[in-house]
Amino acid sequence: MIQMVDPRTTRHHLGTLKVDGSVHNVSVRTSYDGVEYLGRLWFADSVRDIEGIPDYGVIPGRTAEDVLVAAKRLNADDLARRFHRAHAEKRRYIRLRRSVEEILAKVKYMNRVAISMRGGMLDADAAEQELDLVTDQIQDIVSRLKEVAA
């Protein structure tokens, strides 16, 4: 199953991983950073955690398909090591971290819109509307930061 997270990010379910007596859903989020595609594994407890926590290592590729193929090549031992690394670095305030990561992704998107406008790929009115929309989304996230930090 492929799920769109934002216009340049997809999430693909890889399977499940049984580790430490629990079953975890494993997915890879792939995004384009302007140079290459980067995949990040996410581990979610199959019972309790919808979103999961990310592995902090990335899987690079020239295309999104390259990232997916590389992620599928990881065996159970590789996934277990990445799972333990993700949990070793797990922060106490994961919801706050997710919000900050979402803000950063939107700021990067705003930069791509501005570059596209300056490069003539987007007209100024369309770019302005898109930047206004993203600004509103960022302000909405910021307004909820205190709530997710608690």
Contacts 24+ apart (CB under 8 A), 87-95: 87/43, 87/53, 89/56, 90/53, 93/148, 93/149, 94/53, 95/148, 95/149
Both 74 and 14 in one domain: the answer is: yes
The residue ranges of the chain whose pLDDT is under 50 are: 1-7
- What pLDDT shows up at residue 122? 83
- What pLDDT shows up at residue 3? 42
- What pLDDT shows up at residue 60? 94
State the residue range of the domain holding 128. 94-149
Both 135 and 103 in one domain: the answer is: yes
Both 28 and 64 in one domain: the answer is: yes
Both 80 and 135 in one domain: the answer is: no
- What pLDDT shows up at residue 65? 92
Both 79 and 101 in one domain: the answer is: no
| Angstrom distance (rounded) from CA 52 to CA 44 | 4
pTM of the predicted structure, to 2 decimals = 0.59
- What pLDDT shows up at residue 8? 60
3-state secondary structure of 41: strand
Both 47 and 20 in one domain: the answer is: yes
- Show which of 88, 110, 131 is a domain's final residue: 88
Both 14 and 82 in one domain: the answer is: yes
- What pLDDT shows up at residue 49? 62
Report DSSP state, residue 48.
T
Three-state secondary structure string covering 118-145: HCCCCCHHHHHHHHHHHHHHHHHHHHCH
- What pLDDT shows up at residue 4? 39
- Show which of 72, 88, 104 is a domain's final residue: 88
- Show which of 54, 88, 122 is a domain's final residue: 88
Look at the chain and report how many structural domains it folds into. 2
Both 84 and 137 in one domain: the answer is: no
| Angstrom distance (rounded) from CA 70 to CA 13 | 14
- What pLDDT shows up at residue 5? 44
Closest CA to 61 of 81, 37, 77, 31: 37
- What pLDDT shows up at residue 25? 92
Encoded amino acid at 74, one letter: L
Both 62 and 117 in one domain: the answer is: no
Both 81 and 102 in one domain: the answer is: no
Both 107 and 80 in one domain: the answer is: no
Both 26 and 64 in one domain: the answer is: yes
